[in-house]
């Protein structure tokens, strides 16, 4: 009987296709390189976005400061020369009685000429306020606030506040500030209304000055106001140069400063007839007279007051004008200065 032979077949183990296998060295290096590239791209994008955001915020802050400063300057210019119904633009020096002989020139109601100018320009070297170093001429506006009768004041008056008394034809500033010791009979006589005390208007004398310079190393546009005792108050920072955030500042960036200059617009020809064109003159000089005028009163359709003040503020690197210089313009009109607009036909 034959024995049947059986072959023993060896079955090779089957490799599980679902089993996890490790990265090879090359695959690991490639993955690492891709990760580094992604991280660099993300970091660069973040830094770029941050620089852009910081730069935008810096420019926005300057624009907001400029808007605020513009509003204040425009308001002061519009009020300049107005003391109730008395308008400096249409009056003469003889209509002013200023007994404050010891006051600074900036605080004087009347200057050395026959005409009354609502604005003044003071050279930087003649403007002295403790801690402030000006680098531009100083622009000064003057007007009165509160037009109530002496018997019916429209607002409270602080003690020793600078005051002006007046009517539509004259202004009087007593030798002492405040209401204490003021002889109203003397005031009414100076106003040409002896005994008519009830017709006297009392106004707080407002003087505001604008200039660029530095306070404690901080450059900017500053505002000053007349305080009690014929002195300037503390400087108020209105606008400072665009700050360069540390995220975008480089070693080549210089400190920035502000410089201010003024240009004045005058009516040079104001014809009476319809259909005729008025002319305006632009000049960097603040005038104190009317060309060709010889009368003791302000001629019709003329005034020594500018119709508009155009202010240019330049933001420079280290005081040098370059392609990176920013220029800001503020145009402020003076009520009563544009006599052409006040015409009646």
When comparing pLDDT for 17 and 33, which is higher? 33
Average pLDDT over residues 210-223: 93
Residue-wise pLDDT for 292-340, tens only, equals: 666 666 666 667 788 899 999 998 877 677 667 888 999 999 987 777 7
When comparing pLDDT for 276 and 114, which is higher? 114
When comparing pLDDT for 28 and 209, which is higher? 209
- pLDDT for res 38: 85
Residue span of the structural domain in which 128 resides: 48-333
On average, the pLDDT of the chain sits at 78
- pLDDT for res 345: 41
Neighbours of 231 (CB within 10 A): 13
**Dihedrals phi, psi of 322, to nearest 5 degrees:** -130, -175
Domains held by the chain: number:
1
Domain for residue 9, yes or no? no
- pLDDT for res 71: 94
Spatial distance between the Cα atoms of 165 and 174, rounded to a whole number of angstroms: 8
Spatial distance between the Cα atoms of 286 and 289, rounded to a whole number of angstroms: 10
- pLDDT for res 178: 67
Indicate left, alpha or beta for 146 from its phi (over 0: left) and psi (-120 to 50: alpha): left
Average pLDDT over residues 218-233: 90
Domain for residue 186, yes or no? yes
- Res. 249: pLDDT tops 80: no
Domain for residue 39, yes or no? no
Average pLDDT over residues 41-56: 72
* DSSP one-letter string for 186-215: HHHHHTT-TT-GGG-EEEEEEEEEEEEEEE
Q: What is the pTM of this model?
A: 0.77
Give Cα 237 distance to the centre of its chain: 9
Span of 7-11, 91-95, 100-104, 206-210 with lowest mean pLDDT: 7-11
329: its two tokens: 């313009």
Domain for residue 197, yes or no? yes
SS3 category, 281: strand
Which residues fall within 8 angstroms of residue 37, CB to CB, at 6 or more apart?
A: none
Domain for residue 29, yes or no? no
Spatial distance between the Cα atoms of 48 and 56, rounded to a whole number of angstroms: 12
Residue-wise pLDDT for 278-299, tens only, equals: 778 888 988 877 666 666 666 6
118: its two tokens: 């609502």
Domain for residue 68, yes or no? yes
- pLDDT for res 109: 85
Average pLDDT over residues 48-61: 69
- Res. 86: pLDDT tops 70: yes
Give residue 14's pLDDT band: very low, low, confident or very high (50, 70, 90): low
Give residue 72's pLDDT band: very low, low, confident or very high (50, 70, 90): very high
Spatial distance between the Cα atoms of 150 and 165, rounded to a whole number of angstroms: 9
Residue 90 half-sphere exposure, CB side, CA atoms within 13 Å? 14
Which residues fall within 8 angstroms of residue 142, CB to CB, at 6 or more apart?
A: 80, 81, 109, 118, 119, 120, 205, 206, 207
- Res. 12: pLDDT tops 70: no
Of all residues in the chain, what percent carry a pLDDT higher than 90? 23
Spatial distance between the Cα atoms of 345 and 343, rounded to a whole number of angstroms: 7
Domain for residue 10, yes or no? no
Domain for residue 217, yes or no? yes
**Dihedrals phi, psi of 324, to nearest 5 degrees:** -95, 10
CB 303 within 8 A of CB 267: yes
């Amino acid at each position: 009987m034959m024995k049947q032979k059986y072959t023993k077949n060896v079955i090779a183990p089957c490799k599980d296709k679902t089993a996890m296998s490790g990265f090879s060295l090359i695959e690991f290096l490639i993955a690492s390189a891709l990760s580094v590239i992604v991280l660099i791209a993300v970091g660069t994008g973040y830094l770029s976005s941050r620089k852009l955001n910081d730069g935008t915020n810096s420019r926005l802050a300057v624009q907001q400061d400029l808007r605020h400063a513009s509003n204040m300057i425009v308001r002061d210019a519009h009020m300049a020369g107005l003391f109730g119904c008395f308008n400096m633009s249409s009056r003469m020096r003889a209509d002013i009685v200023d007994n404050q002989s010891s006051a600074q020139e900036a605080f004087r109601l009347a200057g050395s000429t026959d005409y009354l100018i609502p604005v003044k320009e003071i050279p930087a070297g003649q403007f002295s306020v403790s801690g402030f170093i000006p680098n531009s001429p100083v622009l000064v506006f003057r007007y009165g606030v509160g037009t109530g009768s002496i018997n019916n004041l429209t607002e409270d008056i602080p003690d020793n506040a600078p005051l002006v008394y007046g009517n539509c034809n004259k202004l009087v500033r007593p030798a002492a500030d405040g209401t204490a010791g003021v002889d109203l009979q003397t005031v009414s006589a100076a106003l040409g209304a002896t005994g008519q005390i009830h017709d006297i208007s009392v106004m707080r004398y407002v003087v505001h000055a604008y200039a660029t310079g530095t306070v404690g190393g901080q450059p900017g546009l500053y505002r000053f106001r007349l305080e009690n005792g014929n002195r300037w108050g503390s400087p108020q920072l209105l606008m400072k140069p665009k700050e360069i955030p540390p995220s975008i500042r480089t070693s080549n960036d210089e400190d920035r400063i502000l410089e201010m200059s003024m240009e004045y617009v005058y009516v040079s020809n104001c014809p009476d007839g319809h259909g005729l064109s008025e002319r305006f003159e632009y000049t960097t000089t603040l005038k104190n007279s009317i060309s060709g005028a010889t009368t003791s009163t302000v001629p019709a359709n003329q005034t020594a007051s500018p119709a508009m003040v155009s202010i240019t503020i330049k933001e420079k690197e280290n005081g040098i004008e370059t392609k990176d210089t920013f220029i800001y313009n503020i145009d402020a009109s003076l009520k009563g200065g544009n006599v052409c607009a006040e015409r009646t036909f």
